[in-house]
A and B are shown apart, each in its own frame.
Chain A
């Protein structure tokens, strides 16, 4: 296969992944929508042995949920193949411009979700996550798309693989922690007004959400630290200084400091619940700001968006 046919293949795979994520979104939406209309008690496991209709209803939504997860996995695999073939088409790792960062970021985000899904009951998160991933991929393919091309000399280094992969994986997990923190705040305000709405009753308790977003951040914080330091080492190789307060570096530092504050607030000061969730969201938004604003409108040495 020639380089350009690999590039075409990559595009088709990304489009197919978007199609499959859309199906995942509808399957999740169906699962949730059904729960809204369900009279109370039907979702309860104890009715399994009850009337035929009730049991049927329960299995139907369970099936929709399972199908949704299957679509998420299929979307992940297609996107993975899309990212890999993009790399093959350019003869390098697929991290040379913002289009490629975005499709890999969407991959890392879904990956983080599917990874966490193995251990925690997170299927309900599939709905917001499929929307986010579709938004990221949609923006990538319409606004950020650039033809596959070789790397500029500044990016030709094995540090690209180390630094960017660490940063993208961290970003994926940060986004997941953010989504959970946002869900926490939403459900918390719902509970403060009264009890949870019908569809939200299946979601985990506030305590579980609170713990989970903390655990994700604590898990990935060392990786983010590593990503920043690998970037510093690379900067020393390429630009002659390991830290120069380039806007990208500055915001990576701000993100690091914010998450460090979040971890301290939880572990040593004992912040829980709303306060912690807001701080988590704040820290995550500095990461997003760095990715979107600094990449596109910022000045400095990290101008690899290709825009």
Chain B
């Protein structure tokens, strides 16, 4: 620090100016652009925490040392990592530093008139000359005006220019990219995203406690959650009997916008979410909840109700955990649910069709300590059986009961659950407008040619025409040929 303050004032300023000029140079922008592309690669090949936390956990379990090192370089959250952010922030600074001065230049240029007609037109492109009739200049002016050229008249010559849209579009495109980035940031700062599993027949109230998972931006406030209630009335999944592929999911709900508001029936589908202002409710996943009744030795009910199970494959072979912490000793059922049961030589019990045609509940019974009071969050679909002993193994059809030493379990029936995803993104409109402007700007910039045309009538009655295409794009030759043909025809 002390050394820096010894530097003369001018040195620091010119150093900063040098750094700024380097950053906003086209070469740096190009390198940053390519770097951004390269930096995006690892995130598509390595599992990412925001997209797939389970896979990241597996990765850590399989390669602990490597994973720890990769974690140090944020390789499990590439797109939120400091180095990725550094690249795109530098890129946008460079972009702003490049685009803003050009915007001012362009504003000035768009008010300016075309340049003075060069003295030697024969040094320009597509030069032509012929003996004129005298009316060519007026005729050319009319023709150029019709074609929306910007015209500047001199004594004996006309200078015309067209294609300012190229730079306008170019600048619009880059400014629109900034708008998209603003939209993304607003969404990240003021948005929220949560998920909730709701059994058919149950209701969802939009308060933080009803979510299974909820994350929000730094500037989001709980009060911003709109106070709606969704009652899940019915869920229908249709499958193709030949391929087992899903054909349609329809979720019927009753919605109350806010306390006291009338009940409204609505339908949610995969591609048509339910909207509450900038908050949308999506149908994200579905599965089965076996309904069970667990009794202890005395016959008293210690657990009753639907337990959501997690689907493992396209035929909804599902796994789940039935935890009974209120019995003594604690009981746990490590279970799987098969909507249409079959046996597979390798995998054992599997489902062969996603609809509940021949449902079966398979489980092992464990007693001991469920470990729920350790403070470490547990998956609701798994049981830590390290402090438990296995006391039974059974497979039940609907209505059947299994009795074991510590009590009994009855498989009462099946309900379905849906996973609702609730998202608020107040920035998305900005991004959308930015996207539309960006495309319009791009079209203007890539499909407009900037070019100049000059016409001079020399003292001896000769007419000279020439042009200059600024972007090297083709077409000017034709345009000049058309102009010349027009002048020659009308001259006669």
* Chain A residues at the B interface, C-beta cutoff of 8 Å: 147, 149-150, 152-154, 156-157, 159, 218-219, 221-222, 225-226, 229, 232-234, 236-247, 250-251, 253-254, 257-258, 260-261, 264-265, 267-269, 286, 294, 298-300
Segment at the interface with A among B40-48, B369-377, B378-386, B454-462: B40-48
CB nearest to B29 among chain A residues: A264
A193, chain B: closest CB distance, angstroms = 29
B34 within 8 A of A: yes
A219 to B245, CA, bound (A): 39
- Chain B residues within an 8 Å CB radius of A236: 425, 428
Number of A-B contacts (CB under 8 A): 121
- Chain B residues within an 8 Å CB radius of A226: 439
B425 touches A153 (CB 8 A): no
- What are 15 inter-chain pairs, A to B, with CB distance below 8 A? A149-B242, A149-B243, A153-B249, A218-B446, A237-B271, A239-B284, A245-B40, A245-B44, A245-B79, A250-B40, A250-B43, A254-B37, A258-B34, A269-B26, A299-B55
Known contacts A222-B443, A240-B284, A244-B50; 15 further A-B pairs (Cβ under 8 A): A150-B240, A152-B246, A153-B271, A221-B446, A229-B439, A238-B282, A244-B51, A245-B48, A247-B45, A250-B44, A251-B44, A257-B33, A261-B34, A264-B26, A264-B29
- Chain B residues within an 8 Å CB radius of A240: 193, 273, 280, 282, 284, 421, 423
A262 to B207, CA, bound (A): 49
A157 to B271, CA, bound (A): 6
CB nearest to A230 among chain B residues: B435
B17 within 8 A of A: no
Contact of A264 among B30, B45, B432 (CB under 8 A): B30
The number of residues on chain B lying at the interface, defined by a beta carbon within 8 Å of a beta carbon of chain A, is: 52
CB nearest to B170 among chain A residues: A267
- Chain B residues within an 8 Å CB radius of A233: 432
- Chain B residues within an 8 Å CB radius of A251: 44
- Chain A residues within an 8 Å CB radius of B280: 240
A153 to B193, CA, bound (A): 23
Take A153-B247, A241-B425, A258-B37 as given contacts and tell me if A221 and B442 are in contact as well, using a CB distance cutoff of 8 Å: yes
CB nearest to A156 among chain B residues: B271
B36 within 8 A of A: yes
B196 within 8 A of A: no
A79, chain B: closest CB distance, angstroms = 25
Contact of B270 among A154, A243, A264, A268 (CB under 8 A): A154
B282 touches A156 (CB 8 A): no
A242 touches B36 (CB 8 A): no
